[in-house]
Amino acid sequence: MTLQEKRTSMQGVVEAWRSSGMTQAEFARQHNITLSKFRYWVYKIRTTSNMHQPSAPASGFIRLANHDLPFGRSGQEIRLRCPNGVWLALPIDTPAAVVKTLIDF
Residues 10-64: tens digit of each pLDDT: 889 999 998 888 888 999 999 999 999 989 888 888 877 655 544 444 556 666 5
**Same-domain status, 65 and 26:** no
pTM: 0.45
**Same-domain status, 43 and 27:** yes
**Same-domain status, 47 and 64:** no
**Same-domain status, 47 and 68:** no
Q: How many CB atoms lie within 10 A of CB 102?
A: 16
- The boundaries of the domain holding residue 94 are 58-105
SS3 70: coil
**Same-domain status, 63 and 102:** yes
**Same-domain status, 89 and 63:** yes
**Same-domain status, 80 and 63:** yes
Nearest partner of 45 among 3, 21, 14, 22, judged by Cα? 14
Mind listing the pLDDT tens digit for each residue in 79-102?
877 777 777 888 888 888 877 777
SS3 46: helix
**Same-domain status, 104 and 83:** yes
Number of domains in the chain: 2
